[in-house]
Each structure stands twice: as C-alpha cells, then as structure tokens.
Structure 1
Amino acid sequence: MSTGEQPVTGPAPARRSMSLATRIATGAALLVPLLVLGTGALLLGLVTHDLRSQQDTRLRDRAAAVLPATRALLSATRQDRPRVEQNQRRNLLDDALDVGIRVADANGDRITEGGPVPGPAAVLPQPAPTSPGVLVTVRAQGRAWRVLARPVTGADPGTLWVTAPVSATNPQVDAVRGRILWAAVLAAPTSGLLAYALARRATAPLSRLGRRAAALDPRAGAGGFTHRRSGIREVDELALALESALARYDHQVARTGQALETARSFSAAASHELRTPLMSLQTNLDVLDAHPDLPAADRADILSDLRDDHRRLLDLLTALRTLARGDLVEEEAFAVIDPAEPAAAAVAELRRRRPEVTVDTTGPGLTGADVGGLRVHGWEAGLRIVCDNLLANAAVHGHRPGEPARIALGLRREAGQAVLTVDDDGPGIPAQDRAAVFDRFHRGRNSPGSGLGLTLVAQQVALHRGTVTVTESPGGTGCRVEVRLPLVGQDAPTLPLPARRDWIRATGAGR
C-alpha cells in the first residue's frame, strides 16, 4: 500500500444552525421561569411581611384585651388574695386565646405563664415604663418567637409579655412558595411552545424572503426579485436592501460591460483612424532611408509631413481618450459649479497658446452682473472640454483667409438656462452640413484636426442635459455655436446622467 498519496477529502459539512424561532423559544423557556421565580421571590417577601404584620397586630390586640385582667392579677397577688388571684389568672388565660402569656411583677418575679411561650432560657425584652410596647423576635432552642413586651402601669406595676411562634405563619408561606415553584415549572414548556409558535408565525415572511432570494436567477438581477409588503418593518426593510443591492449590482454589471465595450471600440477606432497617418509616416521614413542624398528642400517637405502626421496622431489619441473618459464618467464627479470659471480658464489657455487670436469677452455674462448666480449641475472637466474645443474650432476654422481669427465669447441667463455662445468671423457652415459637424471623425476639406473636437462638445453637452446648435453669427458672417445648459438651485443638483453613453462607438450627436 502506497503512503505517498494523501486521501482526497471534500469540504467539511456545514454545521446545522439553530433557527430563529428555536432560539426565541429556547430563550423564552429559560427567561420566563426566571421571571416567575424572581416575581415569586418578591411576592413571597411581601406575603411574609404581611403575615408578620398581621401577627404583630394580633399580639397588640391580645395585649390590649388582657391588660385589665393583668392589672387585677397583679393587685390580687400584692394583696395576697389567693382566690381572686386564681380567678384573675383564669380570666387572663381565657382572654389570651391562641397566644402565649407571661406576667411578672415589678421585681421581675413571674406571676403566671400560659400558652405557647419561649423556654426559661429565652431572654425576653424589658420595656421602659413609659413605652407603649416593644415587638422583637426571640430565638430559643432552635425556634423563633414573636414577642410583645408591654409595661403595666398603675398602683401595682409589672410587665406583660404576649408571644406567638413565628412558625405559625410558615404554612401560608410554604403554600405560596409551592405555588410559585409549580408556576415556574409549568411556565418553562408553556412559554417555550407559545414563543415557538409566535416566532414561527413572525419569521414566516423572513423565511419566504430567504427562499425567494435563494431561488433568484443571477442573470435576472433586480428585475427577477419581487417583494410584496409583509407588514413587518424589519422584513420589508431587508427586502428593500436586497432590491437596492441587486439594482447596484445590475448597474455595476452594466457599467463594466459598457467599459469593456468602450475599450474595444477605442481599440477599433484607434486602429482604423491611425492606419492612414501611420502608413504616411512609414512611407516618408522609407523615402528618407532610401534617398540619403535627397535635396534639402525635398527633405524639409518630408520632415514637415512627418511632424504633421505626428501631431495628428497625438491629437487623435488624446481626443479618443477624452471621448472614452466622457463615456465612463460617474455621477459622483458632478457638482454645482459656475460655468464662467471653465470658460475663463479656456480663454486664458487659448490666448497663451495662440496669441495671434483675438478673443472678445466683454459681452454680457463674463464681465457683467449677469454672470452672478449662474449655477449648473456639471462636471468641471467636462465643461472645460466644451469651452476648449469650441474655442479651438473657432480659432482654426473661423477666420478669413490670411487673417487671424476673431472670436466673441458670451455667457448669459435665459429662461432658466445658462447660454454659452462662441461667434467667429469665418466662412460659416452651410445649413445642410450643421448637424453632421458633430459626427465622429467628421472633418472638413483640408482640416488639420482629428474630427472629434465637436463630437466631444456634443458628448459633454448631452451629459449635462443640455443642447448645442450651430447657426449664423449675428453679424451676418461667420458661425455661432450655442450651448444651453439647465440651471439648478444651490441645494438641488438633481439632474441624473443619461442611462447609456456610447459616443466612442456610435456616430451622430442626436442620440
């Protein structure tokens, strides 16, 4: 037998857990008897106190009843009248009924004793002459006694003790104790069964919810999970949490799929659009390699073409990356912002890069009071993309032959919208071609761009729930691009993003 192989063992069996109903029933079966015993202990103490109070009251009543006979007995004893003394002793014991009596004279000599009294060794209390009586518990020979010591005043003073064994109340206390124990014993199974039945009924909606969740098809997502209100708040809250979790799961799955599709589309678009400039680069490099003695003028032309192709490659890759970024932007990136800020930053950047271009920002909105209070629910980077590309497009295409571009930028409030306008003095765009300028990779004749600048503008405007249109410039020549974005309150940025964004895959701005 080989010892080199280890036995293959499966996963350890899951330990069976206790159901919630069983836990509740077990807890009730343990807790209710404890509560019964605790309540019984309190009740037993109250009963014992009440019985002792009743016994003390009975001792006081008996002392008051036998007090006249006690005085007569003490007087007859002092006068040495045996017959009267005998009659008074009999009257005293008859009046005492069910309690013990002991009488002593002023010298402490015992005169008479009868009924249940402590033994001779018991030390009985000695009341003060002016005391109304003293009640104490005395223990003697293993027994407890309740003793009332009362002074007898008058011509023949003495002391009267009225006694009763404490055990006289024990049968009633024992009866109460027994009933409490029986109640605790019966409460355990009864409370357990009742608690189990109630818990099973209360947790039935939770069990049904668990079965529905276990049977849920992962491909169905949130749409395959339906819950009808059970009337139990905790169960309904749990169902709502499950629905929310499934909805977030569906959203993340959709976003992951969209991201993968965007990456595929990015690769496809890049490979398709980069083929021509890369082939041109290869051709020019081959010419330079094959003709090392090429004339300087021809060599300079080829190098210029290489630089143009290189710039076009960089512009195309940057535009595709920005387009993919817009397709994947999350709603958390949006906030309440002032559109004048990205517009001013874009103007400053254009002036730095192309100082020959004239940009007029003296119109309403950017320098006047109208700009105050403009708030849109926007992505600051996205609005900067809009402004940069509109200004760059106007700088490249919106000028007269041989002259630098002149651009007018405006920002105003109109009918609950922020209106951004970019005007140029170029040849303009024919009406039949204005919609196509937002298509992906649409380039005009001899355009040096990637064909994605205005596509990026249309994408960002759509993300911001706005509109973008191309019209004639108010001066009669040139082109105006107008962007309208909805305004929101400072504390109410509630506009959601479009559910589907596929600008890097599809063509056309009218989605």
Structure 2
Amino acid sequence: MRSLRGRLTLGLTAVLALVLLGAGVLAARDADRSEREALDDRLRRTAELSRATAVAAFEEALPEGDGRLDAVLDATRTSLRLSLGDQTLFETGRRPPSQPRLRSGLSTFEAGGIRHRAYVAPLPDAGLGALARLEVITPLTLLEERQDTLRRRLAILGLVALALGAAGVYLASGVVLRPLRRLRRATASIAAEEDLSRRVPADRGPTELRDLAASFNEMLARLSRSAADRERALEATKRFAADAGHELRTPLTSIQATLSALSRHPDLPAERRARMATGALEEQRRLVGLLDGLQALARGDASPPVAELDLAEVVDASVGASRERHPDVVFTADLPDGAVALAGWEPGLRSMLDNLLENAVHHGRPGGAVRVSLSDGPSPEVAVEDDGPGIADEDRERVFEPFARLEASGDGPGSGLGLAVVAQQARHHGASVAVDRSEALGGARFTVRFARSA
C-alpha cells in the first residue's frame, strides 16, 4: 500500500485491532471469573443447605428419595452424594460421574470427556469423625457453552467495531490529508508548467504543513535564482563565443586578404609589398593579443593557489614593466614605505595591474601621464588614473564586459578583453573594482578595493 492515506488507515486499524483484542480478552476473562465465582458460591450454599438433611440421614435414617431436593438439584444439573469412607450412603439429583476420591474444598476434574466442578465438605459429627463427607458436583458444560457464546459475540462485535473504525479512520484521514493533496496538486502544476516563479500556499493547514510549504517555496526561490543565473551564464557564454568569433575573424580575414593579394601579384612594388606585410604583421599581433586575452580569462576561471604576498611589490613591478614598454609615457607611483600584506594569487594580481596600466596608456593622451597609487589600511586600495577623455556614466558598467568597446575608442588598439580580466581577477580576490573620473588628471580613474585577508 503506497498511499499515505492507505498506510495511515492500515496503521490505525492495526492499533484499534490490538486495543479491541485486549479489551475482548479482558472482558472474557472477567466474565469467566465472575461465573466461576458464582458457581462456586452456589456449590457452597447447596452443601450448606444440604448439611442438615445429610446429618438427618445418618441419625434418623431418612429414605433416600426426597422429591423437593431432587427437583432443585435437577434444575441446576447438580448431584449430591453422602459417603462414609469409600461407601456411598446417599445420592440424589443427577447421577454423579465416576471419579477418584476428591479432596476437601473446591476442585475441578474431568470424567467421560466432561469437566466438572466439585465441592467436598466433611460433616462435623463427633460420632462419625472425618469419614462422613458431603459432595456437591456439577458439570461445567453450561458454563463453558456460555463462555464460548460470549467469546463469539465479542469477536463479532470486535470485527464490526474494527470495520467501522477502519471506515472512520479512512474518512477522517481524507479530511486530514486534504491540505497535503492541495499541496501535491500545486507542486504537480508547477512541475508541469516549469514555472519556478509560482509559489504554493503557505498560510493554510496545520503547522507542519505550513512549514513544509514554506520550505518548498524557499527551494523554489533558490531554484529560480539558480535557473536565472544559469540562463544569464548561458547567454553570456553565447555572447562571448559570438564576440570572440567576430573579433578573431576580423584580423584573420585581413591577413588572408593580404597574403592572397601578395600571392596573386608577385610583381607588386617593393614599397607596397612592405606596407602590406607591415599591415599583416599588425593584424597578426592583434590576433595574438586576442588569444592571450582569451587564455587569461580561461586561466583566471580556475581556482589558483593563494599565498601571502606584498601588494606593494606587485604594483611596483607592474609599473616598472609598463615604463619599459612605454618609455614616452610618464608614470607616477605613490606607494607606501612598508609592505602591504595580502593573501592572493600573484600572477592574477599582476595580470590585473598590467591590464589596468595598458588601458590607461591606450586611452590616455599620446605621451601623457599615468598615475598609480596604493593605500594601506583595513581595505587596501589600488587606483590607476589617466589623462584621457574618461568614461561616461552610462558606460562604466559595460566596460568590464568581454570585447566591450566604447565609441570614443573607435578602432584603437586593444582586444577588448583587458578590463574583463581585471573584473575577473577582482572577483577571485574578493575585491571590488569601480571607475569614475580622475580629479588630478581629468581622465578615468579605476579603483580596486581589497578586503584584507591575513
């Protein structure tokens, strides 16, 4: 039985059956004990009432037959016997069964396949001593028949009560489980429609069911957020793949066209051939830059090892390398005298700083200035400023997307992946990156704020 309603009915019916069985056994035993006590009391009273008659039989030699006594004994199916030692002196009532000598008091014996109850009392007569005994015997057939009848009636009543109880439990469980069926229908509807924005009612039913509905709604909310994140990630991946294909196709197409022209026209003037080769070389360099940027993004998505490092040393090394690459640009570094301890991945931090500096050089004025500052404290900050045109407010979020290019940059150098690498490494290091306007140089100011981890 798989349904909760069926299991609940079966379980409660089993409990009810045990209760009824126990009650029936106790009732039958109580009735049996009461009847046996009544029978024993009747045997004692019969012996007591017959005592005077038995004594008179010894003393006055009364005849054996006494109609009134026989009628009473026959009505109760009881036999009365007076014996002296092993000799029977007087018998009346129903014929007593053959049995061994009975002990004084109450006893039960079986004769001829029938169980009997007997009461034996000695006659207190000084002349006879303890040899004279009065025996009152009755069969237990009627008592056992009444007990069997009582047991059958109790069994029938128990079965009827059990059937009624099972039906009542089944109907009551339907009412009790009605809120659970509503919850099941609601969840089935959500699953069929695949609508994770829906919620099940959590304000009806017993407390346990309301708690279950609330937990289910929390799970739906988490699944909805997860599905939304997955959709955004999928869309971002599709957009990234399309943008990557487009960005890679452009330099490859240009190189292919240049090589095809050189192959078809081997007699071109040397000066023109040199210009075409130089253009192809520039496109090849752009292609390598794109591939390097894609590789940096892929490498940054891994979980690199983290170690304690001096952020000031990383910043100083990055500024020194940029000075060598761009000797015409004036770099200013404002670094603290002491070490700035930070837990991070040195190659990722170096890649982030190199891309910030390259971005400042490419978008600043030719031969302009780039300023780098590092501040120590509870949250270390690295700021990179340039003297270019800056970034408009509406573009300050978009610049961190892969292959994002602003109208002001036009077809300038760069792969469009540098700031995406910056944002990625900032996330991996638990840092935030923001862009605003530089008050000192007038261009863009990129600020990376770290949460110190010692």
What TM bracket, shorter-length normalisation?
Answer: 0.5 to 0.7
Residue of structure 2 aligned with 1:391, choices 345, 353, 360: 353
The equivalences for 1:102-251 within 5 A come to 102-105=81-84, 107-115=85-93, 118-119=96-97, 121-126=98-103, 133=105, 135-150=106-121, 155=126, 156-158=129-131, 159-170=133-144, 172-174=146-148, 176-187=150-161, 190-213=164-187, 221-233=195-207, 235-236=209-210, 239-240=213-214, 243-244=217-218, 246-247=220-221, 250-251=224-225
1:117 to partner: Cα distance: 6.5
Q: Is the 8 Å Cα contact of residues 429 and 479 (structure 1) preserved in structure 2?
A: yes
Equivalent position amino acid for 1:40 in 2: G
Specify the SS of the correspondent of 1:221.
coil
Pairs aligned (count): 416
Counterpart-to-counterpart distance in 2, 1:484 and 1:320: 21
* Residues 376-402 of structure 1: CA deviation (Å, up to 9, x unaligned): xxxx88x985x3443223665789x99
Question: What is the aligned partner in structure 1 of residue 62 from structure 2?
Answer: 86
Question: What is the aligned partner in structure 1 of residue 434 from structure 2?
Answer: 468
Distance 1:344 1:285, change over 3 A: farther
Counterpart-to-counterpart distance in 1, 2:309 and 2:198: 44
* Residues 334-393 of structure 1: CA deviation (Å, up to 9, x unaligned): xxx998758779949x78x96999997864650xxxx7xx9xxxxx88x985x3443223
Distance 1:172 1:260, change over 3 A: same
1:254 to partner: Cα distance: 2.9
* Residues 206-238 of structure 1: CA deviation (Å, up to 9, x unaligned): 444444455559557133444253323565456
Counterpart-to-counterpart distance in 2, 1:392 and 1:284: 32
Q: Is the 8 Å Cα contact of residues 312 and 448 (structure 1) preserved in structure 2?
A: no
Question: What is the aligned partner in structure 2 of residue 11 from structure 1?
Answer: none
Counterpart-to-counterpart distance in 1, 2:310 and 2:7: 66
Residue of structure 2 aligned with 1:47, choices 31, 50, 74: 31
Q: Which piece of structure 1 moves more, 25-34 or 280-289?
A: 25-34
Question: What is the aligned partner in structure 2 of residue 257 from structure 1?
Answer: 231
1:242 to partner: Cα distance: 5.3
Counterpart-to-counterpart distance in 1, 2:176 and 2:438: 71
Question: TM-score w.r.t. structure 2 length?
Answer: 0.65
Pairing 1:450–2:415 present? yes
Question: TM-score w.r.t. structure 1 length?
Answer: 0.59
Counterpart-to-counterpart distance in 2, 1:408 and 1:116: 127
Q: Is the 8 Å Cα contact of residues 104 and 160 (structure 1) preserved in structure 2?
A: yes
The equivalences for 1:307-326 within 5 A come to 308-318=285-295, 321=298
Question: What is the aligned partner in structure 1 of residue 329 from structure 2?
Answer: none
Specify the SS of the correspondent of 1:187.
helix
Q: Is the 8 Å Cα contact of residues 43 and 119 (structure 2) preserved in structure 1?
A: yes
Equivalent position amino acid for 1:43 in 2: A
Question: What is the aligned partner in structure 2 of residue 429 from structure 1?
Answer: 386
Specify the SS of the correspondent of 1:229.
coil
Q: Is the 8 Å Cα contact of residues 293 and 418 (structure 2) preserved in structure 1?
A: no
1:285 to partner: Cα distance: 4.5
1:180 to partner: Cα distance: 1.7
Q: Is the 8 Å Cα contact of residues 5 and 173 (structure 2) preserved in structure 1?
A: yes
Counterpart-to-counterpart distance in 1, 2:258 and 2:355: 29
Counterpart-to-counterpart distance in 1, 2:40 and 2:340: 99
Specify the SS of the correspondent of 1:312.
helix
1:312 to partner: Cα distance: 0.9
Q: Is the 8 Å Cα contact of residues 389 and 442 (structure 2) preserved in structure 1?
A: no
Unaligned runs of 5+ in 1: 1-16, 128-132, 327-332, 375-379, 414-418, 491-511
Counterpart-to-counterpart distance in 2, 1:35 and 1:397: 85
Equivalent position amino acid for 1:112 in 2: F
Distance 1:388 1:60, change over 3 A: farther
Q: Is the 8 Å Cα contact of residues 147 and 161 (structure 1) preserved in structure 2?
A: yes
Equivalent position amino acid for 1:144 in 2: R
* Residues 159-204 of structure 1: CA deviation (Å, up to 9, x unaligned): 4433332234346535533542442353355335433432332233
Distance 1:391 1:33, change over 3 A: closer
The equivalences for 1:406-417 within 5 A come to 412-413=377-378
Equivalent position amino acid for 2:352 in 1: L
Counterpart-to-counterpart distance in 1, 2:310 and 2:96: 110
Distance 1:244 1:228, change over 3 A: closer
Distance 1:356 1:486, change over 3 A: closer
Counterpart-to-counterpart distance in 2, 1:397 and 1:19: 66
1:42 to partner: Cα distance: 3.9
- Quote the RMSD (CA, aligned, Å): 5.7
Question: What is the aligned partner in structure 1 of residue 330 from structure 2?
Answer: none
Q: Is the 8 Å Cα contact of residues 346 and 384 (structure 1) preserved in structure 2?
A: no
1:270 to partner: Cα distance: 1.5
Counterpart-to-counterpart distance in 1, 2:321 and 2:135: 123
Counterpart-to-counterpart distance in 2, 1:454 and 1:226: 44
Q: Is the 8 Å Cα contact of residues 363 and 410 (structure 1) preserved in structure 2?
A: no
1:56 to partner: Cα distance: 3.4
Equivalent position amino acid for 1:157 in 2: A
1:53 to partner: Cα distance: 3.6
Identity %, equivalent residues: 26
